[in-house]
Chain A
Amino acid sequence: MKQLFSVSIALLVSLTFLVLLLFFMGEDLNALSEALQHTFLNRFGLGYTLFYTTPLIFTGLSVALCFHAGLFNIGAEGQLLWGAIAIVAFSRYFPNLPPWSAIPLSFVVAALAGSLWGFLPGYFKAKRGTHEVITTILLNFIALSCVNYLILYPFKNPESQSAETSVLPAGYQLQTLWFPTTPVNVSLIIAIAVAIAVYVLLFRTSFGFELRTMGQSPRAAVFSGVLLSQRTLAVFMISGALAGLVATNDILGNEHKLIEGFSPGYGFTGIAVALLARNHPIGIIFSSFLFGSLQNFSRELEFFSQNISKEVSLILQAILIILVSTRDFWQRRRLK
């Protein structure tokens, strides 16, 4: 309840900021209401909002799982890129698979690829003590270069002028769910199921208990017999897998191909998503919806306004992170 209250206040502040911004930029306030309508109030808008929610659930979970174990995964962005390219590669080698095997296998392949990229920072941390924040960030740059290379050369669509891969075989194309003409697909349901699974893993199993112990007090974990290096590796690989799943939503469900720069920073937004939900897996479903709306909203705002670019979502995101993470501070101030 308290959390809901503080999030509402944070939202209110961001909205106020936005209105002021629009005002000072000389925009028509109609743009705001049009954008809001196209985010929530019509089927088309809501469909897109849900479509943008899915990847954030995955990256939010990826970040949150690491958080619970006291680790920072700022590498979801790189992990999800590998997940995407892995689906493309897999579909090229097995173009004739029927949907009932192609789709589930694509999920597995995407998760595996993300997991392998997550293995690296986990290994560096576990074996060499290298701080995961810097390695994951640097690995993002490496992943971006490598995947761009793969898109531009081996997997390039020869018929297209832009940097994108060929279209996936028919068996790999997911149908839209509930909202016709929008790309919402079964990934959303999988994402929600995964969130519940992560909840169970963290709070109901002994493995999750060990992870949380590690996050609260690494020394206590060591003395209770938990092998930190092993667990660090495991956590990073699971987190990587979660991030890798992001690709399924866009590649299988929407574009049916991989376009250079397809992620507008899902991995980084995942940090905000996790933070807003206080790392609670179920809460992440809702905070993903919030940030998914923001994503869709800023796209619509760019469309309806004269001069606002869609990066306004980043600013609102930053404001939300700042407000939520300083919640205790404002409360202390009020008590004084």
Chain B
Amino acid sequence: MSQITAAARNTAVNLPTWVWLAMMLAVGLLYAVTFDGGLLSSRVATSSMFLHEFFHDGRHLFGVPCH
């Protein structure tokens, strides 16, 4: 009995579909922080370079190529 339940805790191998959605959200967030050059920024802020400038130091430090 105990073995069956203990094994059942870890055998669910297939990931649920929403995990891939979460992954795309994460990639989108990384894009906003490190790559956005106006595509997103012009929609959420007054300047198309707002996100680019706001995350300037973080982007350099993450090591993403920048200007």
Q: Do A and B come from one complex?
A: no
Residues of chain A at the chain B interface (Cβ within 8 Å): none
Residues of chain B at the chain A interface (Cβ within 8 Å): none
